[in-house]
Amino acid sequence: MENFCVNSCQHRSPVWCGVTLLIHGMYNLLRRCSNDLVVVHFYADWATQCGPMNEVLEELAKQSELKAVRFAKCPAEDLPEVSLKYAISAVPTFLLLRGGSLLDRVDGANAAELTKKINLQISKGSNIASPPPVKATAEDLTTRLRGLINSSPIMLFMKGTATDPKCGFSKSMVALLDSHGAAYKTFDILTDEEVRQGLKTYSKWPTYPQLYISGELIGGLDIVKEMNESGELQALLPKKAPLETRLKSLINQSTCMVFMKGSRDEPRCGFSKQLMAILAETDIKFDTFDILTDEEVRQGLKTFSNWPTYPQVYVKGELIGGLDIIKELKES
């Protein structure tokens, strides 16, 4: 099955079945469909207007006159790099693309406007040339790999995630690390083919999972098992505090703490970018925590504070709210 979607069929070229749910690999998908008009709905489950607009998309996908159009939906908060690239600052938002080139957009729940713009692009169709895909240089990739490896004292490159491993070797590695209460982060190589292939060359290690400690490759499952049996592994693994203790410590790390996607200088979703712009206009001193680097914190804080979305702003350890609340406070 292709990595870029669910509900797709097993063929070498993309086969679209109604409205495709994009999980990852959007750029790969657009490159493969470079001659097709692609309509992508950026949505969030918590936004009430998105549900009806998903139904509109399903109906459009059934229309015979739109059979050449590829329809997809994308969870905006789960693909921050894509949301940031296309300046998605609210949901629902619809993008009309060809080969990654933005042709038009519809911000908000406006079915009539969306239909009108789709038909307009179909009429233009053959006159729009798609730009060639931009490939990262070897130097860019090396810098990125080095950054990923050093993004945590213990970094595990695996198939899937710690909570949902996608192969037996990765599952065994996670179980081994968890048995020591290790504090580690993971990167799902199934979501990024460039990283998956590049890391093999970079570290001269052809298989996965791969475990790194302090930026150095330790090895794969067999080596880590051997180190565990000899007692070497435990000495290398820092222990993590209980989740609730970690969360309380993090939200009190600064008088004002912002939990967001990305950093102050590089926000990685439209909502976080807007919040940084608002705070930049004030004299408020604040620190940030990138939830994309720690899935345990990302999910745990939602439950701990009973707030399902990001960014989240805390003052003196108390939750103030998200972007909408901060906007209201600014206007009041």
- For the chain, the first-to-last Cα distance in angstroms comes to 51
| Residue 78 placed within a domain | yes
Domain enclosing residue 255, as ranges: 243-331
Check whether residue 94 and residue 168 sit in a common domain.
no
Per-residue pLDDT of 207-249, as tens digits, reads 999 999 989 999 999 999 999 999 899 888 876 667 888 899 9
Per-residue pLDDT of 102-136, as tens digits, reads 889 998 998 889 999 998 888 876 444 444 444 55
Q: What does the H/E/C string look like for 219-262?
A: ECHHHHHHHHHHCHHHHHCCECCCHHHHHHHHHCCCCEEEEECE
Report the amino acid identity of residue 192: D
Check whether residue 66 and residue 168 sit in a common domain.
no
Check whether residue 218 and residue 262 sit in a common domain.
no
> How far apart, in whole angstroms, are the C-alpha atoms of residue 332 and residue 317?
23
Is residue 24 scored above 60 in pLDDT? no
Q: Mean per-residue pLDDT for 300-317?
A: 93
Q: Which of these ranges, 74-78, 122-126, 248-252, 314-318, has the smallest mean pLDDT?
A: 122-126
Check whether residue 11 and residue 66 sit in a common domain.
yes
Where b means 16+ CB within 10 Å and e means fewer, 167-198 reads eebbbebbebbeebebbbbbbbbbbbebbbeb
| Residue 133 placed within a domain | no
The first and second tokens of residue 85, run together, are 């690239």
Per-residue pLDDT of 130-157, as tens digits, reads 444 445 566 678 888 988 898 888 999 9
Q: Which of 82, 103, 127 is the last residue of a domain?
A: 127
- Using the 8-state DSSP alphabet, how is residue 172 labeled? H
Check whether residue 44 and residue 122 sit in a common domain.
yes
Q: What is the mean pLDDT of the chain?
A: 83
| Residue 256 placed within a domain | yes
Q: What pLDDT, on the 0 to 100 scale, is given for residue 66? A: 87
Q: Which of 262 and 89 is assigned the larger pLDDT?
A: 262
| Residue 132 placed within a domain | no
Q: What pLDDT, on the 0 to 100 scale, is given for residue 225? A: 94
Percent of the chain with pLDDT over 70: 85
**Contact present, 327 and 277 (Cβ < 8 Å):** no
Check whether residue 214 and residue 153 sit in a common domain.
yes
Confidence of residue 2 (pLDDT cuts 50, 70, 90): very low
Q: What pLDDT, on the 0 to 100 scale, is given for residue 127? A: 44
Q: Which of 187, 203, 236 is the last residue of a domain?
A: 236
Query: What pairing do the DSSP bridges indicate for beta strands 154-158 and 210-213?
Result: antiparallel
Check whether residue 223 and residue 251 sit in a common domain.
no
Q: Which of 236, 270, 296 is the last residue of a domain?
A: 236
Length of the chain: 332
Check whether residue 103 and residue 192 sit in a common domain.
no
Residue with tokens 């911000």: 107
* Number of domains the chain contains: 3
Helix (H) or strand (E) holding 44: none
Q: What pLDDT, on the 0 to 100 scale, is given for residue 198? A: 92
| Entry pTM | 0.41
Q: Which of these ranges, 4-18, 75-89, 129-143, 177-191, has the smallest mean pLDDT?
A: 4-18
Q: What pLDDT, on the 0 to 100 scale, is given for residue 147? A: 86
Check whether residue 21 and residue 59 sit in a common domain.
yes
| Residue 49 placed within a domain | yes
Per-residue pLDDT of 25-73, as tens digits, reads 555 555 556 578 889 999 988 888 898 898 899 889 888 888 889 898 8
Q: What pLDDT, on the 0 to 100 scale, is given for residue 227? A: 93
Residue 95's CATH number: 3.40.30.10
